[in-house]
Each structure stands twice: as structure tokens, then as C-alpha cells.
Amino acid sequence: MNSETKIDFAARLALAAEAQDLLFREARTPNSFTDEPVDDEQLEAIYDLFRFAPTSMNQQPLRILVVRSDDARARLIPHMRGRNVAKTAAAPLIVVLAADLDFHEHLHKIFPHVPNARDTFADPVSREESARFNATLQVGYFILAVRAAGLAAGPMIGFDAAAVDREFFPDGRHASLVVVNIGRPGRDAWFHRLPRLSYAEVTTVV
């Protein structure tokens, strides 16, 4: 292909160009938010969208801890690291996304055509591996759903996950994966977009 040839990639996709921009091309990770609150109905609408995205055996292991109260914020923020402390303290809404390590207890309901599906995950080591992998997939879906709601998501792994688990999940059933700040982006919310790899750099055709 001639290097000067321009392809209208947006036109090649079924989703409207404006929606493509909202979810991907124009979407950014914010560094600040406005004071506009994020209410429970918005959060439920976000969940109602991303819950339909696929996971292995329909496991759906992601669990959402909504950190709303001042007390809960005070318990969470000391476990954040570096600049994430100030970002989290100022966010309109904070959620902790975690993997349910006992997700298999629900398989009789969400994977009913295989009656013994629960037994597939009897080994706790392989069950945790599957829970973490599939919940991490759902983290990506969650971020896109937040963008679809017209909000911005600031996902962070810069926190003490073990301490957060002790503080909020003391029964050991859930494992924290990501803390996400959610809200409307503030005036100086964006850094310059960092470079992305090209199609040729990441694709091998065999």
C-alpha cells in the first residue's frame, strides 16, 4: 500500500464514528475531575452495559466495591501510592474492582447447561487464576462502559492490594485488581496523548 494512501478506518466499522471516538479515539485517562457527582443510577447503567461482554464459561467474576462514604474513603486512600493518593482523594466516585475467587458457586445459575460446571474449578489455584484473568477482562469492559456513559475512568494499579483486601475483603474471597476513579474530566484533565504502536508493529500474518 502506498504510504500516502489514507484509509477511512472509521467508515470500515459498524459503530458510528462519534461512538468510536467516545470509546476509543478521543477517550483519555483523566488526571482531574469536576465536582459533578456520579449517582447510583449511572453506575447501574454502566454495569447493565458491560455485564453482557464475554467471559470464559460465563464466569463473571468481577465484583465492584463502591467507595462512597467519607469513612470508606479514609480507609482506602492511605493504601494508594504516589500521585494516586491526591487523584483518589479528589475523585467524585471511587470503585475497587476485585475478582471473586469463589465465582464457581454461581455457575449453577449462570452456566446452567453444564450441571457439574462448579466441579471444574475444585482446585483453588486454577480457580484463582481463572477468576483473575476473567475479572481483568471485565475491567476493560468496565472502562469502556464508563466512557459510553459520557464519563471518564482513571484506572490505577498503584496501590497496596494486599492491604486493601485486608481492609475491605477480610474473608479472603475477593482479590483487588484495580482502583478506578470516575467522573467528568476537569479543566486540565489531559496530558498529551502518548504514541501508539502501528498495526504492522503488532500484527503477524501466518
Q: For 39-173, where are the E strands, in sequence order?
A: 62-67, 93-100, 152-156
Residue 108 and residue 117 in contact, taking contact as beta carbons nearer than 8 Å: yes
- Residues contacting residue 143 through CB under 8 Å, at least 6 positions apart: 153, 155, 180
- pLDDT for 186 equals 82
The grid coordinates of residue 43 equal 453506575
In degrees, rounded to 5, the angle at the alpha carbon of residue 40 between the alpha carbons of residues 67 and 48 is: 110
pTM of the model: 0.93
Q: What is the pLDDT along the chain (206 residues), one digit of tens a residue?
A: 554 567 899 999 999 999 999 999 988 888 889 999 999 999 999 999 999 999 999 999 999 999 999 999 999 999 999 999 999 999 999 999 999 999 999 999 999 999 999 999 999 999 999 999 999 999 999 999 999 999 999 999 999 999 999 999 999 999 999 999 999 988 777 778 889 999 999 999 99
Domain ranges of the chain: 28-186
CA distance 53 to 137: 9
Task: Supply the pLDDT for residue 4.
Answer: 54
- How much is the pLDDT for 6? 73
The kind and range of the H/E element at 108 are helix 107-110
State which fold the 28-186 domain adopts: NADH Oxidase (3.40.109)
Report in angstroms the alpha-carbon separations of 204 from 6, 196, 199, 200: 22, 17, 9, 8
Cell reading at 173: 474471597
